[in-house]
């Protein structure tokens, strides 16, 4: 199945946003809010030097957390959705821990795990883990029993149910959970990168702010947006490729 070309309609909203940004910046007439052109120029100047290490540090933390959360939460979510006693045992604990703002745990995580990379990745993992866990659990529980029975009647074994019924059924919800969770994780990461580190877009933005380098600050914000755009685009691509059985239209 070939990739769909980019529709001109999809460019209207970004163009309108850039126009509004330019108009606001021009009307304000302050160096605090640089124009899109000034930010683009600055981005091109520092993209391969000053900005790149911070962008790679933030991207690496998010990708590591996404991977670990999927690996751990996917099998646990399947167990919660399929095995009654597992669900009854662990669901109350999930409901207690899930609503807790994970950023509130930042001091505790730093005290227990130190202030290195592992602590920041673990905090992002907490955000994504519960998002994926609940989404997978609900998707598995919603699978009609007739699907499993039909596969059994056709000679399918237990592992065949996992491959041909459970995994296809939960993939859309899994990718949606990762998409939503990654946005929350980036917000948490920004805050976590302002403590005990000199690498990451959060550090770069706050450091630029403190130096009154507002064009650099805005450039860092744009860089975070680009990280989120890249993650969203990759997850959309995976959904089109892995869920071709399901109509996925933008």
What digits encode the pLDDT tens for the residues 113-157?
A: 888 888 999 999 999 999 999 999 998 888 777 766 676 666 666
In a domain, 86, yes or no: yes
Q: Is residue 85 part of a domain?
A: yes
- Burial class from Cβ neighbours inside 10 Å (0-12, 13-18, 19+) for residue 190 reads buried
In a domain, 126, yes or no: yes
Rounded Cα distance between 58 and 88, Å, is 37
pLDDT tens per residue across span 210-222: 999 999 999 999 9
Q: Is position 164 within any domain?
A: yes
Cα–Cα distance for residue pair 26/29, rounded to 1 Å: 5
User: How confident is the model over 165-186, as a mean pLDDT?
Assistant: 88
Do the beta carbons of residue 200 and residue 193 sit within 8 Å? yes
Take residue 249 and report the two structure tokens written for it. Answer: 């239209």
CATH number for the domain that contains residue 66: 1.10.3720.10
Q: Is position 247 within any domain?
A: no
pLDDT at residue 155, rounded to an integer = 66
Q: Return the DSSP state at 137.
A: H
In a domain, 22, yes or no: no
Would you say residue 142 lies in a domain?
yes
Total count of domains within the chain: 1
Distance separating alpha carbons of residues 169 and 11, to the nearest angstrom:
32
Residue 13 lies in a domain: no
Full domain range(s) for residue 196: 42-242
CB neighbours of 245 closer than 8 A, spacing ≥ 6? 168
pTM of the model: 0.84
């Amino acid at each position: 199945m070939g990739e769909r070309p980019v529709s001109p309609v999809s460019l209207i909203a970004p163009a309108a946003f850039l126009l509004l940004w330019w108009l606001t910046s021009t009307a304000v007439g302050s160096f605090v809010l640089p124009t899109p052109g000034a930010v683009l120029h600055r981005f091109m100047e520092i993209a391969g030097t000053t900005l790149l290490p911070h962008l790679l540090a933030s991207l690496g933390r998010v990708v590591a957390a996404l991977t670990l959360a999927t690996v751990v939460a996917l099998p646990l979510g399947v167990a919660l959705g399929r095995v009654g006693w597992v669900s009854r045992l662990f669901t109350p604990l999930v409901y207690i821990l899930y609503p807790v703002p994970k950023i509130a745990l930042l001091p505790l995580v730093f005290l227990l795990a130190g202030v290195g990379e592992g602590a920041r990745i673990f905090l992002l993992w907490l955000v994504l883990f519960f998002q994926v866990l609940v989404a997978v659990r609900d998707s598995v529980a919603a699978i009609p029993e007739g699907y499993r029975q039909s596969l059994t009647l056709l000679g399918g074994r237990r592992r065949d149910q996992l491959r041909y019924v459970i995994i296809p059924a939960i993939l859309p919800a899994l990718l949606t959970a990762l998409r939503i969770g990654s946005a929350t994780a980036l917000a948490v990461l920004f805050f976590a990168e302002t403590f005990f580190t000199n690498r990451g877009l959060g550090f770069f933005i706050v450091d630029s702010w403190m130096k009154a380098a507002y064009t650099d600050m805005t450039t860092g914000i744009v860089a975070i947006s680009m990280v989120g755009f890249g993650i969203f685009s990759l997850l959309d691509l995976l959904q089109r490729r892995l869920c071709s059985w399901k109509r996925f239209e933008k």
